[in-house]
Amino acid sequence: MPPEALTPDRILEATEDVLRRYGPAKATVVDVARALGVSHGSVYRHFRTKAALREAVTNRWLERSVGQLAKITAITTQPAPVKLQRWLSALFDAKRKKAGDDPELFATYGVLIEENSGVVDEHIRELIAQLREIIEEGVRAGQFAVDDTAVAAHAVFDATARFHDPCHAAKWRSPTIGDEFTAVSDLLLNGLRA
Amino acid sequence: MPPEALTPDRILEATEDVLRRYGPAKATVVDVARALGVSHGSVYRHFRTKAALREAVTNRWLERSVGQLAKITAITTQPAPVKLQRWLSALFDAKRKKAGDDPELFATYGVLIEENSGVVDEHIRELIAQLREIIEEGVRAGQFAVDDTAVAAHAVFDATARFHDPCHAAKWRSPTIGDEFTAVSDLLLNGLRA
DNA sequence: CGGATGACAGATTTCAATATCTGTTATCTC
DNA sequence: GAGATAACAGATATTGAAATCTGTCATCCG
C-alpha cells in the first residue's frame, strides 16, 4: 500500500510540480503518474482526460487569487472609492508580482488559461461581481453615480485590462507602468464619481 | 530589362502578397524574389536583412491606419467630446473590421507587430499624440478638465486597450462587444469632463 | 468489489538526416 | 560602374521513421 491514498488533491499537487518543472508543452500525464509513483491509468481514474486535469489545475490557481481579493471587498472601514482603488491596485500588484517573480511559471499558467477559457470566464465573472459590490456600496453612499452597476463594473474591469490581462504581461516590466496604472485608475474613479 | 525597375515599393508590395499567401512563418525572401522574377540577392540590395524588410511592411501597414484616424482629428466642426468618442470608435471599428474580414491576414500582421515592437511604439506614440490634441481642444473649450493632457491621452489609450490591442482580437467577435466598448468609452468621457 | 495495474491502438511528439533559407561576395552584364 | 546574379557557408526548416503519449480495458489484488 502506498504511504497515502491517491486523491484528486495529491494528483493536482503533483501536476503543478510537473508543470513547473517541464512547462505546459512537455508535461504529460505519464510524468504526473511517475511523480506520484503510480501508473498513469490510476490518474485517469480521478480525471477523465488530460484536459480535465489541466482545467482543474487552472481553476485552483485562479481561485487562490480571487480569494485574496475578496478580503479587500469584505473590509467595511473604507469608503468605496478608496476600496475600489485598493482593489484594482491589489489585482494589478498580484498579477505583476506573479509575472515578475517567476516569469516561466506565469507563462505556463498563461498557456493553461488560453486552453481553458471557460474556467477563466467564470473567474472573471466572480471578479466583476466583486467590483460591482464595491461600486454599489459607493452608489448607496452617494459617492458614485452610475445607471447600471453591472455595466459599470464590467467597464472598469475592461478598462483596466492592460493591468491584469496576461497578454499585456510583457509591458508590466516598464518603469513607468505604475504611473500609467495610476492615471487610468484616477480617470476611472473620476468617471464613476457623483 | 524587366518590365519595371526594382524599387523598394515594388518589393514591399510583393512581400505583402507573399505574407498574405504563405503566412508569416513560411514567407521567405526567396519567395519574394520569385514573385518579382528576380534573384534574392537583388532584394538584399534594397533591404539589408529579412527583418528590415518585415519591419518596413509593418510600418506601411500601421501608417495606413494612422492616416485614416488623423482625418477625424482634423475635423473642426465637432466638439471635442464627440470627436474623442468618434475617434475611439473609428480606431475600434477599423481594428475589428480588419480582424473580422480576414482573420488570417490579421494574425499575420499580429506576428509582425510582435516582431517589430519598436515600430509599433512609434505608431502608438502618434496615436496618443492625436488623442492629446483632441483632449487639449476640449480643455481649451472648457469641456474637459485634466491636469496633464499627455498623461490623460495615455490613460485613455491604455484604458481602451481591450478594444484596439491585437492580443484581445478574439474577444471582438462577442455579440456584446459593442456595448462593452460604449460603456468604457462613456466612463472615460465622464472621467475627463469638467 | 473497489481500486490499481500494465498492455494495447491510435494520435502525437521527437530526432536526425536532408533540404531550404539567409546573408555575403566574386563575377557578370549593360 | 550601377545593378543584377549565382555560388557558397552557416543557420533554419522539413520530413519521415521511431519513440512516446493518451485514453481504454481486461485483469489482478486485498
pLDDT at A194: 81
pLDDT for residue B150 = 98
Residue A1 has pLDDT above 70, yes or no: no
DSSP structural state of residue A119? H
Q: What is the pLDDT of residue B46?
A: 96
Q: Does B183 touch chain A (CB under 8 A)?
A: yes
What is the sign, positive or negative, of the torsion defined by CA atoms of B106, B53, A167, B128? Answer: negative
Q: What is the pLDDT of residue A66?
A: 86
Alpha helices in B27-172 (DSSP H): 29-36, 40-46, 50-74, 80-101, 103-115, 117-140, 149-159
Residues in reach of strand D, judged by a CB distance below 7 angstroms, are A 28-31, 40-41, 44, 48-51; B 5-6, 25-26, 38-39, 41-42, 45
Architecture of domain A1-47: Orthogonal Bundle (1.10)
pLDDT in tens, B59-69: 999 998 888 89
Q: pLDDT per residue over A154-182, tens digit each? A: 999 999 999 999 999 999 999 999 999 99
C-alpha cell at B115: 516582431
- Scanning every strand, the nucleotide with its C1' closest to B1's CA turns out to be C30
CATH no. for A55-192: 1.10.357.10
Nearest chain A residue to B179, by CA: A151
Of A155, A160, A189, the CB nearest to B183: A155
The cell for A149 is: 452597476
Q: With cut-offs at 50, 70 and 90, classify the pLDDT of residue A48.
A: very high
Work out the percent of chain B whose per-residue pLDDT is above 70: 98
Min Cα distance A43 → chain B (Å) is 34
CA of A46 to C1' of D22 (A): 15
| Mean pLDDT computed over every residue of chain B | 94
Domain ranges of chain B: 1-47, 55-192
| B142 Cβ neighbours under 8 A, 6+ residues apart | B194
pLDDT at B41 over 50: yes
CB-closest option in B168, B186, B192 to A161: B168
pLDDT tens-digit map of A61-99: 999 888 889 998 998 899 999 999 999 999 999 999 999
Q: Residue A187: list chain B partners with CB under 8 A.
A: 152, 155-156, 159, 188, 191-192
Does the structure show a pLDDT above 60 at B2?
Answer: no
Contact B180, A128 (CB under 8 A): no
What is the DSSP-derived secondary structure letter of residue A49? S
Place of cell 509582425: B112
Q: Does the distance separating the beta carbons of B162 and A167 come in below 8 Å? A: no
Q: What band does B21 get if pLDDT is binned at 50, 70 and 90?
A: very high
Q: How many angstroms separate the CA of residue A182 from the nearest CA in chain B?
A: 9
Q: What is the mean pLDDT of residues B126-130?
A: 97
Report the nucleotide nearest the CA of residue A5, measured to C1': C3
- Residue A144: φ, ψ to 5°: -115, 155
Rounded to 5°, the CA angle B162-A168-A107 comes to 130
Q: Which nucleotides of D are covered by protein (CB under 7 A)?
A: 3-7, 13-14, 20-26
Q: Tell me which of A113, A124, A162, A192 to substitute to probe the interface with B (most B C-beta atoms closer than 10 Å).
A: A162
Query: Which of A159, A189, A190 is opposite residue B184, by nearest beta carbon?
Result: A159
List, for residues B64-92, the tens digit of each pLDDT value.
888 889 998 998 899 999 999 999 999 99
B162 DSSP 8-state letter: G
Q: Is A17 on the interface with B (CB under 8 A)?
A: no
**Mean pLDDT across chain A, nearest whole number?**
94
**Which residues on chain A are in Cβ contact (under 8 Å) with B154?**
180, 183
Q: Give the residue carrying C-alpha cell 468618434.
A: B86
**pLDDT at position B6:** 87
A168 touches B: beta carbon within 8 Å: yes
The confidence score (pLDDT) of residue B9 equals: 94
| Measured distance CA(B98)–CA(B45) in Å, rounded | 32
CA-based nearest residue in chain B for residue A187: B191
Q: Is the pLDDT of residue B3 over 70?
A: no
Percent of chain A with pLDDT over 90: 91
